[in-house]
Amino acid sequence: MSRCCNEFSRSSLLHRAVAEAGSGLPAIEHGMPVPAGTGLDRRDLLLRSAGLALAVYGAGSLGFPGFEDGILEAAEAAPNQPVLVSVFLDGGADSLSLLAPIADPDYKRLRPKLALPDSGLVFTEDPRLRWHPEAAALRTLHLEGKLTVVPTVGYTDADQSHFTSRHYWEVGATNPGLRTGWMGRYLDKAGRPDNPLQGLSLDGELAPPLATHKAPVAALRGADGYRFWAPGVWGEVESEMLETLGPLGAARGRGDKALASIAGISTQAQRLRHQLAPFNGKGFGSPVTYPQHRSGFPQRLAGLAALLAGGLPLRCVAMRAYGMYDTHSDQPDQLAQGLKLTGESLLAFQRDLEARGLADRVVTLVWSEFGRRAEENGSRGTDHGAAGVAMLMGTQVRGKMIGELPKLKEGIDRNGNLKATVDYRSIYTSLLEQWFDFDAAGAIPNAKAYRRLELVR
């Protein structure tokens, strides 16, 4: 039986809840940071030209027609904008398994049951290391020079709460009070007031790294199966009945939170019912074959490539990878499944971009909130650690390892966790400057404190 720790699933839940902005704060335990994006107004938009049902956040004073114009204008004004895709490995990915130091004498001592066998997939930049046997797709990208690996990334005194550490990564600062995401602040400065596609969440809910102060951002979600069925009612009576949902929900006013929420949701439901009626899923016309998977992760990447090929003005995109990386138990299976599908999907996405001639415009950042404890626990798993793993993918990344995986004897802190050799804000500041040509001080607090890395060719 496999289980993640439960603070983990709570954290994902709260993030999801918070993303449904517009009807108040979720219940958050004392001391937990409030996820970025909380309190943003959410509105729905059907972008008819592109057949997309969008939830738009931070809509400001503009109505929806304005957005459609803004999206068109943005697409025409800057057709070849660089795009940054953030892919989150949810739960704390284990870098000691992704890049197993099989020759390190301490590896087998710390991981007597979990140490990986020699996969034969040598990590060419550090021959002590072997790729996880299911990470062959990532190795292919690395051999082609399209994958930069950051084996030990994090920050000083890593917080071991999923919720808090993830928040720090999302907002780009170790500040529990910050409510905007690091990419969101970039969009606030460099984005447009009328193009919600500039910050797009692909998980159907606002991704906190994209939370802005004022610029609109959007979330794409599933669009079929939203039908209202009423027993013993049909025809004209049914039409009248369903048109009553919104007014009925608002019939008692919005005098308190519960009434406001039911008024808002009823109105949204009625609108959504109309918006989704004409929508039916069309293929993405992908030139490559993606893995098929019930999670929908590969399909979301396929959809993203199609959106970019369609000329939509995307700039920052965020999504969760497939997999459960909070491997407190049953780590071998959990990790293998996650790494395999995520790696193969990313490779397919890269191939898709290459085939469509878009590859030079897209950099993908893969990250996780922390790593695992170096020493395995007694449940064929590992507990929360400190430094985690990050990767950058694309034809424009340098493909050279940043930082290192030190000898275990020296690389472990007094809590038994891997020490970070690179601060995650070094990645953020360097990407903002080298990929977006944007002064990182405008988005990352105390930006000058972080060493810049050579990430982009």
Partner 1 sequence: MSQTATKVPVYRGEFGPAQAERLLWRAGFGPRRGEAEALAKRGLDNAVHALTRSGRQRFVGPRAKDEKGRPLAPRDAWGHDHLWWLDRMVRGNRPLMERMTLVWHDWFATSNEGVGSQGLMLRQNALFRRYWLGSFRQLATAVTRDPAMLLWLSGTENTKWSPNENYARELMELFTLGAGRGYTERDVREQARALTGFRNDWREGVGPTRFRFDRERHDVRTKRVFGHRGRFDWHDAVRLCVTHPRHPSFFVPKLWSYFIPVAPPRATRLALERLYVRNGYAVRPVVEAILRHPLLYNGPRMVKPPVVYTAGLLRAAGRGIDTESWTWLCANAGQQLFYPPNVSGWNDERWLDTATYLARWDLAGRVTRPAALDPNKVQAPFDADKLLDRALGFWGHPPLSAGTKRVLRGYTARALATANSSWKKKSYPALIENSLRHLIAVSPDLQTS
- Report the distance separating Cα 71 and Cα 30, nearest Å: 40
| Mask for 178-217, x = binds partner 1 (CB under 8 A) | ----------------------------------------
For partner 1, the binding residue among 108, 214, 252, 457 (CB under 8 A) is 252
The pair phi, psi for residue 269, each rounded to 5°, is -65, -40
- The reply on whether position 248 binds partner 1 by CB under 8 A is yes
- Within 8 A by CB and 6+ apart from 276, the residues are 46, 53, 223, 224, 226
- The reply on whether position 414 binds partner 1 by CB under 8 A is no
Burial group, residue 55, by CB count within 10 angstroms (0-12, 13-18, 19+): buried
Q: List the strands of the sheet with 52-57, edge to edge.
A: 42-47, 52-57, 217-220, 199-201, 316-320, 83-89, 362-368, 388-393, 147-154, 422-423
For partner 1, the binding residue among 102, 272, 288, 336 (CB under 8 A) is 272
- Report the distance separating Cα 269 and Cα 122, nearest Å: 53
Residue nearer to partner 1 on the CB measure, 50 or 272: 272
Mapping DSSP to helix (H, G, I), strand (E, B) and coil, where does residue 81 land?
Answer: coil
- The reply on whether position 326 binds partner 1 by CB under 8 A is no
- The reply on whether position 383 binds partner 1 by CB under 8 A is yes
Q: For 172-311, where are the alpha helices, taking DSSP H only?
A: 182-190, 235-243, 245-249, 257-276, 297-309
What is the chain's alpha carbon radius of gyration, rounded to the nearest angstrom? Answer: 23
* Whole-Å CA distances, 150 to 342, 366, 404: 17, 10, 7
Residue nearer to partner 1 on the CB measure, 50 or 248: 248
For partner 1, the binding residue among 150, 171, 187, 245 (CB under 8 A) is 245
- Report the distance separating Cα 397 and Cα 392, nearest Å: 7
Q: How far is the CB of 182 from partner 1 (least distance, A)?
A: 23
- The reply on whether position 115 binds partner 1 by CB under 8 A is no
- The reply on whether position 161 binds partner 1 by CB under 8 A is yes
- The reply on whether position 160 binds partner 1 by CB under 8 A is yes
- The reply on whether position 177 binds partner 1 by CB under 8 A is no
Residues 14-53 that bind partner 1 (CB under 8 A): 14, 17, 20, 23-27, 29-32
What are 428's two structure tokens?
A: 């953020």
Residue entry with tokens 């449940």: 379
- The reply on whether position 372 binds partner 1 by CB under 8 A is no
- Within 8 A by CB and 6+ apart from 238, the residues are 230
For partner 1, the binding residue among 177, 253, 283, 357 (CB under 8 A) is 253
- The reply on whether position 244 binds partner 1 by CB under 8 A is yes
* Whole-Å CA distances, 274 to 197, 277, 379, 405: 22, 5, 50, 54
- The reply on whether position 382 binds partner 1 by CB under 8 A is no
Is the separation of the CB atoms in 25 and 225 below 8 Å?
no
Q: How far is the CB of 208 from partner 1 (least distance, A)?
A: 16
- The reply on whether position 13 binds partner 1 by CB under 8 A is yes
- DSSP 8-state code for residue 153: E
For partner 1, the binding residue among 62, 102, 136, 265 (CB under 8 A) is 265
For partner 1, the binding residue among 63, 79, 105, 247 (CB under 8 A) is 247
- The reply on whether position 114 binds partner 1 by CB under 8 A is no
- The reply on whether position 266 binds partner 1 by CB under 8 A is yes
- Report the distance separating Cα 48 and Cα 53, nearest Å: 8
For partner 1, the binding residue among 143, 237, 441, 449 (CB under 8 A) is 237
Residue nearer to partner 1 on the CB measure, 130 or 372: 372
Is the separation of the CB atoms in 282 and 52 below 8 Å?
no
Binding residues with partner 1: total (CB under 8 A)? 67
For partner 1, the binding residue among 179, 320, 328, 340 (CB under 8 A) is 328
- Report the interface residues with partner 1, using CB under 8 A: 1, 3, 5-10, 13-14, 17, 20, 23-27, 29-32, 160-161, 163, 226, 228-238, 240-241, 244-245, 247-253, 255-259, 261-263, 265-266, 268-269, 272, 328-329, 377-379, 383, 415
